Amino acid sequence: MAGERLRAAAEPGFVARFGGDEFSVLLPTANLKRIEEIGAAIIRALSQPFEIDARIVRIGASVGAAIYPDDAADDAPESLIKAADMALYGAKAAGRGAMKFFAEEMAHAVRRRRQLGEELRKAVARGEMSLVYQPIVDIADESVTAVEALLRWTHPEFGAVGPGEFVPVAEENATIVEIGDFVLRQACRDALSWPDSVRVAVNLSALQFERGDLVATVTAALAESGLPAYRLELEITETILICNHETVLTTLNRLHGLGVHVALDDFGTGYSSLSYLNDFAFDKVKVDQSFVRAIGAPDNAKAASIIRAVNAIGRDLRMGVVVEGIETQDQLSAIQALGVRGAQGYFFSRPVPAADIGVYLLKRMAERARRAGAPRHRAEAG
Ligand code: C2E
Ligand code: MG
Ligand code: MG
């Protein structure tokens, strides 16, 4: 059915299936406007629902286009196809249902991604990966409840590469499994020197649920470090729940069985299905930082309502609610007024190296003790 629609929309193009869910269309034109129209028609056609055995099925499409001879490195057909493939990659990165023409930057981006991918294979062994830590604060009593471990990569040649750039590459070539293993072990080890009331939060990728044995890895990280399970919190995003729903739920329940906490990260972006909250007893929900940004915008009513509603759900379901990305006193006051207790962001601290977070935690505890009127010597010992 998809093929029929594609053929009709791509008229007068020649349509071929490349494998999996990839198709190619050869058009006898170099007219940009014409190509754009056909691309849009293809996306429209494939975005209409399909009826299969009385069930409604929805798919979508992204389109990448390359033009001969401008975009081809040489006369080999493969070169044009490769350029179209890079454009497709760019279209997918731009979001669902987009179309992109090949651009020279795309070739640079692909080259860099390939290089980073190669270098990621050696990064852990070479000691290039490290963790920085950012506190998560209970604004009601100003205590630090947890500290999130965030991965940093310093490459000898490329310098500092941000996780926003390299984590997707590591997910693509599966090096995230080994890297994630390193993160778990290192985070548990570092957390051991913090006060007992402070948990360490570790981000997980979908691939760690699919490859390798996550429960065994977590068990080993806890055993090796001696960190009690209740002090470890695993942050997952909903994309992990979309694929392999049942197996992921089984794994999450086994992790819960160990006593580990599980948090739903970046809530409110993507699909944000409330059914995820119904399927699994998350200990915490982290509201994506885009909401607190929106509170600062002129029309702030919607973002505030959404935060208030998520907070109410959290209270009913006995889940902690944390708002990410608090940068200013105003933002802190705003979420406080909405009844939120958990907050994370530059306002409290930027992510800092392990040694510094230890000092930060001690300082916060001493301040709190002083405010509570505890004897000075106890505060300093704390
Ligand atoms: P995340 O888990 O949502 O982490 C929060 C991100 O927000 C961090 O970015 C943090 O530095 C940033 N952030 C915290 N407070 C503020 C603030 O007040 N303002 C602004 N503008 N940003 C703030 P970072 O460290 O660049 O990490 C980005 C993402 O990379 C993380 O998002 C997470 O999804 C991923 N990531 C980081 N470390 C790991 C890891 O060890 N494993 C996996 N799988 N993913 C990781
Ligand atoms: Mg996180
Ligand atoms: Mg987040």
186 lines ligand 1 (CB under 6 A): no
pTM greater than the 0.75 cutoff: yes
- The model's confidence at residue 375, banded by pLDDT at 50, 70 and 90, is low
Please give the share of the chain, as a percent, with pLDDT higher than 70.
97
135 CB within 6 A, ligand 1: no
Distance in Å, CA 238 to ligand 2 centroid: 12
Indicate the top mutation candidate among 171, 203, 211 to test ligand 1's pocket, ranked by most ligand atoms within 8 A of CB. 203
Would you say residue 221 has pLDDT above 60?
yes
Of 175, 164, 162, nearest to 207 by C-alpha is: 175
For 94-149, what is each residue's pLDDT tens digit?
888 999 999 999 999 999 999 999 999 999 999 999 999 999 999 999 999 999 99
Res. 10: pLDDT tops 50: yes
Q: Which domains does the chain carry?
A: 2-103 (3.30.70.270), 127-368 (3.20.20.450)
Min mean pLDDT across 10-14, 24-28, 364-368 is at 364-368
What pLDDT does residue 138 have?
A: 97
Ligand 1 close to Cβ of residue 208 (< 6 A) = no
**333-350 pLDDT, tens per residue?**
999 999 999 999 999 999
Residue, of 297 and 329, whose pLDDT is higher: 329
